[in-house]
Structure 1
Amino acid sequence: MTDQGLLQRTRYGDLRDLIARRFEDGRVISVRPDDTLLTAFQRMRLADVSQLPVLVDGQRLVGVIDESDILLGMHEDPSHFSLSVASAMTDQLETLPPSASLAALQAELDRGL
């Protein structure tokens, strides 16, 4: 209900205010590197999101996968869905702590990642 703005939550004045599903609340939808691309795609559709964090042991971030990572391979070969998330995820990550300012985020985006 927080996603729809029906419940209020604490405001911090930093990146935490932009995060809809917070990890500490146990609301993050994620996949494992050994999950199939079909599993990732289904979770994205169910949660109405276009990208997912790839976590090991539900804790350590090792990558990110988005719809384009999945669908580009599907265009060429429908069996692509049976491949692992690890085969298609982005593992070169640039991260900021949740307590970073919006200005810090803007500076990272301006670098042209």
Structure 2
Amino acid sequence: MLMDLGTTVAQVTATDADDPMFGNNAKLIYSILQGEPYFSVEPKTGIIVTSWPNMDREAREQYLVVVQVKDKLGLSGGYSATTTVTVSLSDVNDNGPIFQHQMVNESMS
């Protein structure tokens, strides 16, 4: 399957039990630890999108994307967690048949 640049793949969601009304302790930010340059994550929403043009299952079928979330907006003194997303490209009929030679000469006796 060919995937266009910027195609949404998945969304990861983390929660933080700190009081969201007090400082930045519960304010989360997402980043990619593994999976670039093929994928990126929107820092505030956790939406994973393709960041490599024309991804094709015939070239590579599966990718592991490791996403990290940090509280305190990633500032020092915060905590972090990671999750792994397996992205599998499905197959579509994106290649037509071709002959190796346009003309074949066979002589028959």
TM-score range, shorter chain: under 0.3
Q: Which has the larger radius of gyration?
A: 2
Higher strand content, 1 or 2: 2
Higher helix content, 1 or 2: 1
